[in-house]
């Protein structure tokens, strides 16, 4: 009896695991049979007790119809010959029942065999004046065959044992979409807990199938649902037609038993034989229509005869406006994960309580995985997503990030694709890998399919929060564990592509984020290689290796950073047509209740923005460290559990702390202050672990450079005052295959309220309105500028004197410099510079005998610089951006005016020296009005008149003709002693040098004005 008792308990536990949604999620959590090719039969329990029902699970992939043919044989044995002669021969009843598709895995089916009797009864009876001891045994045996598409393909059998159940367990109940019976492929979408895409249309009924099971008797069952956060409503559940065949077999078996009982009662009037028991209810319930913009939850509750109560896993769906012409595809694993978390509480206690029972080997491994999965789910920040806000206006479809998304794209044809916080990308992580570049479909990444669809159909893209997560942990210099969705951000320079986007970051208009990822890895790899060079000094080598691992493991995109939820719109929000409040708050109530802050954001997107924003964000992130620790520890445990302990939570915490404390700022400064020459970036980074700076050279190549030059910067619609959170938009209007994109750095879909609804609706409306504008062109085939800027640039270039010596595209940063180098003769160098992504640039001569004599703005995005070259040779000029983005494009046209050689004709040689000395002290008042032109003419004693005209510059004050500002505010005392010495040969032609001058700085203007004033007073004195 003990064996049957444990077997029965094991049976109920197996059923619980199968029915629970813990097994419905992962193919690698299913029973071993599910992964075996061909047809399989699996019965539970293996040893069947008297009156105990049996569930038969069948695996029949690609089947059209699956049935179970069951033959039940009732046999009676007795030692009483007279009774034996009257009893019937063994009775066999055969029937077919349709197998019900399991709502958690395609290809699996379930059929029910009712509990059958197996019992021996001993009684006495009188026969011919004597008492006879009668032994009457009734037994049952079952032969069942799996019939697939009309052909029997497998079979098994069992004989019912006399043992009774030793204990009674609570009933089991499951409620799932009735449509699963007609279309088992829905299982792949929602695992039966919701309709395809988790969505029904407004005004539609939803039919639910309820299966309630108990090991001893048919449980009482109730079905209920609720709308949004309202109360639960009960709905009557009626018997399904699927019950008919099972009821028929029970009736036939019991009729046979009743016939046996009637015969036996001739010898014992109160004799009662056990009957076949129906312990299952298959019911149907209908949820009435609901309005678009709501969500519905449903469940079934079963109660057995002992008063035990069980609740089914909760089902769920959104109600959407399927009449809308706007279709929104939401790629979101959190909908199912949240539902799993909600249902987990119903099963976790039972799973743990039954872990020690003897259960089949096929189940033992899934049990361990289920236990681990339950712990992981609790550690993750899995929040409810309010897609009903979009369902109110649009036709939406919600899908898990997996390969069949390609089919969804072709059938659903979305106008907008939303990537909902796809932050996990665990290497070989199955359910924990949402990196769309890791999922391969038809030989190429799923992300490539999505990007192709977006560009071909001009579909909008919306990404939220941790979709740009980049965490990779270095266990060693050669061993790395990928935890985040690094493929969405980029691995190396080849991912910096704005034309043929490979990453989500590029789709969002921030392809340069891949450069930071590559630079961080390059620095770590360089230190790793350096450590090998110190093999003779183990302590130094170990310190270098530790530093390399820490740097390589430090994320540059940090999710879940706490923030107070406040954002302010920028002027661009109105320009772009966003109808949102000037100041608003985003609040996620669950976070406020559990952690004490309103919302969280990803930090790291600021790497693509100028320092005026980035440094504020880095400071704010560092200040949030204490409150961030609450979330950081949860994330560490999540990663530790996902990696099965390979990655330690405390290490993750250390790397996250490094990022927010210093490394985000440090890496930003490394590139923003780098020295750039062409495609080569020279960076220097302090390494505190070794107390030195490390210099690394990175060549990004022509392709990556051209991609940076060809894009326009993203724009900010809203920004938090502390720079942590933002809404960033990207419009690729210049490309015939363009699109629009929006990035929410926070998990907007987890927020609640009218503001969140408005943000989601505005983002959809904006991205779906892309249109091609032929208003740009590529200067030199490289730098994208507006056609207006291009025309102005060409006009400025054509008016600039000199011979063209350079035309080049450059990448500019804010704190470093990009250099151009020329080998020129003395003269004047003109630089005409187009800088479309920044309004201001700074220009400096860094090598060579030359100085800038004028910088002027031809246009908001065009600058003209004039440089005087005093001595021939190499001249190097650096350019730096005052930018709208971290890396900026520029196009430079250089023209050179070489100083002409004087033409002299000599007919007579005569030297004339004239010295004029005047000493006068002049005090210049605070404000002086100067003549605009002063001219000196010196005449020799011969008839020859020498006239020299020379423009005053910052270094030449002996000027005979000067133009100065007419008003200057300055106070000083200027000595006016002036000696002019002229030695000349009387010529017939004299070289006249004329140079136009301009003021490049306030000090230059002052110096010029002082010089001009001095000359004016000298002449006046004379």
Residue-wise pLDDT tens digits, 608-656: 888 888 889 989 988 888 888 888 888 888 888 888 889 998 999 999 9
Which is nearest to 592 in space by CA: 735, 753, 464? Answer: 753
Number of H helices, E strands in the chain: 24, 59
Please report the DSSP string for 24-39 in residue order: TS-GGGS-GGGGSSS-
Rg (CA), the chain: 42
Residue-wise pLDDT tens digits, 915-936: 444 444 444 343 333 334 333 3
HSE-up of residue 301 (Cα within 13 Å, Cβ side): 12
3-state SS string for 93-105: EEEEEECEECCCC
Give dist(CA 787, CA 774) in Å, integer.
Answer: 9
Better pLDDT: 637 or 398: 398
Listed in sequence order, the residues at least 6 apart from 105 whose beta carbon sits closer than 8 Å to its beta carbon are: 23, 24, 27, 30, 34, 187
- Rounded to a whole number, what is the distance in angstroms from the first to the last CA of the chain? 134
Give dist(CA 503, CA 487) in Å, integer.
Answer: 6
Give dist(CA 643, CA 482) in Å, integer.
Answer: 10
**Mean of the per-residue pLDDT values for the chain?**
81
Give dist(CA 225, CA 231) in Å, integer.
Answer: 8
Give dist(CA 884, CA 896) in Å, integer.
Answer: 31
Q: Which of 372-381, 708-717, 764-773 comes out lowest in average pLDDT?
A: 372-381
Residue-wise pLDDT tens digits, 240-268: 988 888 888 899 889 989 988 888 888 88
Q: Tell me what percent of the residues of the chain surpass a pLDDT of 90.
A: 47
Beta-carbon count within 10 A of 657 CB:
18
Strand, coil or helix: 1013: helix
Structural contact between residues 822 and 875, judged by C-beta atoms closer than 8 angstroms:
yes
C-alpha distances in Å from residue 94, one per residue of 67, 91, 250, 281, 660: 13, 10, 11, 21, 71
Residue-wise pLDDT tens digits, 564-604: 999 999 999 999 999 999 999 999 998 888 888 999 999 99
Give dist(CA 57, CA 69) in Å, integer.
Answer: 13
Question: Quick one: pLDDT at residue 353?
Answer: 36
Band of pLDDT at residue 35, cut at 50, 70 and 90: very low
Structural contact between residues 260 and 76, judged by C-beta atoms closer than 8 angstroms:
yes
Give dist(CA 503, CA 448) in Å, integer.
Answer: 9
Q: Taking each helix axis as running N to C, give the angle between helix 405-412 and helix 446-457, from 0 to 180 degrees, rounded to the nearest 10.
A: 20
Which DSSP helix (H) or strand (E) runs through 447? helix 446-457
Structural contact between residues 39 and 63, judged by C-beta atoms closer than 8 angstroms:
no
Q: E strands within 100-205? A: 100-101, 108-113, 119-127, 130-148, 151-159, 172-177, 199-201
Out of 25-29, 337-341, 519-523, 620-624, give the one with best mean pLDDT: 519-523
Strand, coil or helix: 291: coil
Q: Tell me what percent of the residues of the chain surpass a pLDDT of 70.
A: 80
The first and second tokens of residue 862, run together, are: 């065009």
Please report the DSSP string for 352-367 in residue order: HHTTTS---HHHHHHH
Q: E strands within 288-372? A: 294-303, 309-311, 315-320, 327-331
Structural contact between residues 451 and 409, judged by C-beta atoms closer than 8 angstroms:
no
Q: What is the mean pLDDT of residues 444-467?
A: 97
Give dist(CA 603, CA 664) in Å, integer.
Answer: 9
């Amino acid at each position: 009896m003990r064996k049957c008792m444990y077997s029965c308990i094991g049976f109920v536990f197996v059923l619980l695991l199968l029915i629970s949604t813990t097994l419905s999620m992962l193919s690698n959590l299913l029973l071993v049979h599910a992964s075996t090719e061909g047809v399989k039969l699996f019965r539970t329990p293996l040893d069947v007790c008297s009156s105990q029902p049996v569930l038969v699970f069948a695996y029949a992939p690609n089947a059209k119809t699956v049935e179970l043919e069951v033959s039940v044989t009732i046999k009676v044995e007795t030692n009483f010959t007279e009774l034996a002669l009257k009893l019937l021969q063994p009775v066999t009843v055969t029937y077919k029942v349709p197998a019900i598709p399991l709502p958690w895995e395609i290809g699996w089916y379930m059929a029910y065999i009712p509990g059958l009797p197996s019992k021996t009864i001993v009684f006495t009876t009188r026969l011919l004046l004597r008492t006879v001891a009668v032994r009457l045994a009734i037994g049952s045996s079952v032969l069942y065959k799996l019939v697939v598409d009309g052909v029997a393909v497998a079979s098994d059998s069992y004989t019912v044992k006399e043992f009774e159940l030793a204990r009674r367990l609570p009933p089991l109940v499951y409620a799932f979409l009735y449509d699963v019976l007609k279309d088992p492929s829905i299982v792949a979408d929602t695992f039966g807990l919701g309709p395809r895409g988790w969505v029904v249309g407004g005004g539609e009924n939803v039919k639910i199938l309820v299966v309630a099971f108990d090991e001893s008797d048919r449980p009482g069952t109730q079905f209920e649902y609720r709308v949004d956060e309202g109360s639960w409503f009960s709905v009557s559940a009626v018997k399904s037609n699927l019950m008919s065949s099972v009821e028929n077999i029970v009736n036939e078996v019991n009729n046979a038993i009743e016939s046996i009982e009637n015969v036996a009662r001739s010898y014992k009037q109160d004799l009662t034989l056990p009957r076949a028991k129906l312990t299952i209810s298959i019911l149907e319930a209908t949820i009435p229509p609901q309005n678009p913009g709501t969500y519905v939850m449903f469940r079934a509750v079963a109660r057995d005869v002992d008063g035990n109560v069980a609740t089914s896993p909760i089902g769920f769906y959104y109600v959407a406006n399927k009449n809308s012409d706007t279709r929104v595809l939401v790629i979101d694993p959190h909908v199912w994960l949240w539902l799993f978390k909600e249902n987990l509480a119903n099963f976790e206690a039972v799973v743990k309580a039954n872990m020690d029972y003897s259960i089949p080997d096929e189940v033992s491994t899934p049990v361990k995985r289920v236990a681990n999965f339950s712990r992981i789910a609790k550690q993750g920040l899995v929040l409810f997503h309010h897609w009903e806000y979009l369902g109110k206006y649009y036709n939406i479809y919600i899908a898990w990030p997996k390969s069949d998304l390609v089919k969804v794209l072709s059938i659903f044809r979305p106008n907008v694709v939303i990537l909902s916080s796809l932050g996990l990308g665990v290497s070989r992580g199955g359910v924990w890998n949402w990196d769309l570049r890791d999922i391969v479909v038809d030989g190429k990444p799923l992300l490539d399919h999505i990007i192709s669809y977006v560009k071909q159909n001009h579909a909008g893209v919306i990404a939220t929060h941790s979709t740009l997560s980049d965490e990779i942990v270095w266990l060693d210099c050669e061993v790395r564990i990928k935890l985040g969705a690094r493929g969405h951000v980029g691995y190396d320079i080849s991912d910096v592509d704005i034309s043929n986007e490979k990453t989500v970051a590029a789709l969002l208009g921030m392809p340069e984020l891949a450069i930071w990822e590559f630079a961080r890895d390059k620095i770590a790899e360089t230190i790793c290689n350096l450590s090998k060079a110190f093999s003779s000094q183990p302590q130094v080598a170990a310190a270098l290796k530790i530093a390399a691992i820490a740097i390589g493991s430090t994320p540059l995109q940090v999710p879940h950073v706490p923030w107070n939820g406040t954002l302010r719109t920028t002027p661009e929000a109105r320009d772009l047509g966003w109808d949102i409040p000037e100041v608003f708050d985003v609040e996620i109530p669950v976070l406020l209740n559990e952690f004490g802050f309103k919302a969280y954001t990803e930090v790291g997107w600021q790497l693509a923005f100028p320092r005026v924003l980035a440094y504020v964000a880095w400071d704010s992130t560092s200040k949030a460290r204490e409150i961030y620790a609450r979330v950081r520890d949860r994330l560490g445990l999540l990663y530790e559990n996902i990696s099965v302990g390979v990655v330690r939570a405390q290490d993750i915490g250390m790397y996250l702390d490094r990022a927010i404390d210093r490394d985000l700022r440090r890496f930003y400064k490394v590139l923003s202050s780098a020295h750039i020459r062409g495609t080569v970036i020279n960076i220097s980074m302090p390494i505190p672990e070794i107390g030195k700076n490390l210099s690394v050279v990175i060549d990004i190549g022509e392709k990556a450079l051209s991609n940076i030059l060809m894009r326009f910067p993203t724009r900010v619609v809203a920004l938090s005052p502390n720079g942590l959170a933002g809404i960033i938009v990207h419009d690729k209007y210049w490309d015939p295959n363009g699109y629009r994109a929006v990035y929410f750095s926070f998990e907007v879909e987890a927020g609640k309220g009218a503001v969140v609804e408005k943000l989601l609706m505005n983002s959809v409306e904006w991205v779906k309105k892309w249109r091609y504008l032929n208003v740009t062109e590529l200067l030199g085939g490289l730098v994208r500028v507006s056609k207006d800027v291009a025309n102005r640039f060409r006009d400025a270039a054509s008016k600039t004197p000199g011979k063209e010596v350079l035309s080049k595209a450059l990448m500019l940063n804010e704190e470093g410099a990009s250099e151009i180098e020329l080998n020129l003769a003395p003269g004047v160098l003109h630089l005409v510079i187009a800088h479309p992504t920044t309004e201001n640039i700074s220009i400096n001569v860094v090598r060579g005998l030359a100085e800038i004599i004028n910088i002027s703005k031809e246009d908001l995005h065009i600058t003209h610089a004039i440089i005087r070259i005093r001595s021939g040779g190499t001249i190097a000029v650096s350019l730096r951006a005052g930018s709208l983005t971290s890396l900026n494009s520029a196009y430079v046209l250089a023209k050179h005016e070489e100083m002409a050689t004087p033409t002299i004709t000599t007919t007579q040689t005569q030297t004339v020296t004239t010295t004029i000395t005047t000493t006068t002290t002049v005090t210049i008042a605070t404000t002086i009005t100067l003549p605009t032109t002063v001219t000196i003419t010196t005449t020799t004693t011969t008839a020859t008149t020498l006239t020299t005209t020379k423009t005053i510059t910052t270094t030449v004050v002996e000027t005979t003709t000067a133009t100065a500002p007419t008003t200057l505010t300055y106070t000083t005392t200027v000595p006016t002693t002036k000696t002019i010495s002229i030695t000349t040969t009387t010529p017939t032609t004299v070289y006249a040098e004329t140079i136009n001058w301009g003021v490049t700085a306030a000090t230059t203007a002052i110096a010029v004005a002082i010089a001009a004033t001095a000359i004016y007073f000298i002449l006046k004195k004379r």
